[in-house]
Amino acid sequence: MSNLNNQRIKIKIHQLRLVPYLAIGSLIFYFNSNLDLNYIVKGYLVLMQSQLCIIVIYFLTARFANKPHK
């Protein structure tokens, strides 16, 4: 028998830090690839949306990370 059932997957919090950025990046790519705009405008939209999402994710993670546990 294999030992796969006995092994636990240990994922630490710092390993999941990139997940929100990857999710938002893939959503930005998906929504902008469906637009019928000039490639310069698409590039500008990608840059603006990614900057905004990075700022939002940063503040949300800072807010949740600094909450004291009761």
Asked if the structure places residue 2 within a domain, the reply is no
Asked if the structure places residue 19 within a domain, the reply is yes
| pLDDT tens digit sequence for 15-59 | 677 788 888 888 888 888 888 888 898 888 888 888 988 888 888
pLDDT of residue 31: 83
Residue 24's domain comprises 13-65
Q: Do residues 47 and 29 make contact, with C-beta atoms less than 8 angstroms apart? A: no
Asked if the structure places residue 44 within a domain, the reply is yes
DSSP, residue by residue, 6-40: TPPP---GGGGTTHHHHHHHHHHHHHHHT--S-HH
pLDDT of residue 58: 86
Statement: residue 12 has pLDDT above 70: no
Q: How many domains does the chain have?
A: 1
pLDDT of residue 21: 81
Asked if the structure places residue 42 within a domain, the reply is yes
